[in-house]
Amino acid sequence: MTTTNGQWFPSTWPDQIRALAGGALTPVPPRRAATVLLLRDSAAGPQVHMLRRRVSMAFAGGAYAYPGGGVDPRDERPVGWAGPSPQMWAERLGLLPDGDSAAAAQAIVCAAVRETFEESGVLLAGPDADSVVADTTGEDWEADRQALVRRESSFAEFLARRDLVLRSDLLGPWARWITPEFEERRYDTWFFLAALPEGQRTRDVSGEADRTEWLLPRDAASGYDRGELLMMPPTIATLRPLTRYGSVAAAHADCGSRDLTPVLARAQLDGEEIVLSWPGHDEFTRRIPRRPSENVAAGDTPGAE
């Protein structure tokens, strides 16, 4: 199938959008989630760690993504903490100023660090506020990682047992995207940047991925533009800005000025067509014909094979 780029676009979306517009579909509440763009410096510039989701997966199979996942309710448990306070994080993440905002912010940050460890073996934690674990490749570390994946241990219990504190200062807020209202699985996802800690290395341990790579953002974006790398809109949208930085430190320094206004797709009916758009991201706008077969013929459904 000929495509203009690698934008992930499921063939089920048109029917779901029409069902929502017709009142036959009720949006499900989005679940909070966190994703981390793990970076490292190279001679050619910063590289980003990406996972390719298994082609067999029902959701976004074959798409490139970053380590991340949903918030576990246990992520709100008291945890060893270093860096900005949960309340400061609540303000930066745009959470409503209520009695639960600090706990919610802690859970989101914990989920970001936990999921990064679960899916890449990289741990953003250390014995104190000024140090980071140097190596997480031993059998004992793998046993702890597996226990977290199987939900046999909470992240707070894991850190306490190893006498470690979560280094929230190693994360930089980058973006926030909410899954469209017509999707069956919905997430309110915060994207963070983090530098690969010195001495640590990523491992291909994610059960959801069949490939892991370190890529220059410009190469990954070019692969997407050529239709060679499949990505969901939030992935390529958070990747493109990284192409202008010459170092990880420079990218991380800009996190404080990033706009975290949630990006949520809009779907409108225009006669027989659906107009699907993401505010502020015109490259993703699509006009979808009445019949899905017309969409396929026009090459407008990359990745929906």
- pLDDT tens for residues 101-132? 999 999 999 999 999 999 999 999 999 999 99
Give the separation between CA 241 and CA 193, rounded to whole angstroms: 12
In the three-class reduction of DSSP (H, G, I as helix; E, B as strand; rest coil), residue 99 is classed as coil
- At position 178, the amino acid (one-letter code) is I
Domain map of the chain by residue range?
Answer: 28-260
pLDDT, one tens digit per residue, over 155-193 is 999 999 999 999 999 999 999 999 999 998 899 999 999
pLDDT tens figures, 57-96 = 656 678 999 999 999 999 999 999 999 999 999 999 999 8
Q: What is residue 143's DSSP assignment?
A: H
Q: What does the pLDDT average to over 7-14? A: 85
The strand pairing partners of 65, in sequence order, are: 51
Query: Is 70 exceeded by the pLDDT of residue 239?
Result: yes
Q: Which helix (H) or strand (E) holds 278?
A: strand 273-278
Between CA 244 and CA 250, with CA 249 as vertex, the angle to 5 degrees is: 35
CA distance 120 to 202: 5
- The CA angle 140-144-147, to the nearest 5 degrees, is 140
Q: Specify the amino acid at residue 271.
A: G
Query: Residue 97: is its pLDDT beyond 90?
Result: no
Each residue of 28-47: pLDDT tens digit?
Answer: 999 999 999 999 999 999 99
Spatial CA neighbour of 101 closest among 47, 93, 284, 60: 93
The encoded tokens of residue 283 equal 């490259």
- Residue ranges with strand state E in 114-186: 125-126, 165-167, 172-178
pLDDT at 140 over 80: yes
What's domain 28-260's superfamily in CATH? Nucleoside Triphosphate Pyrophosphohydrolase (3.90.79.10)
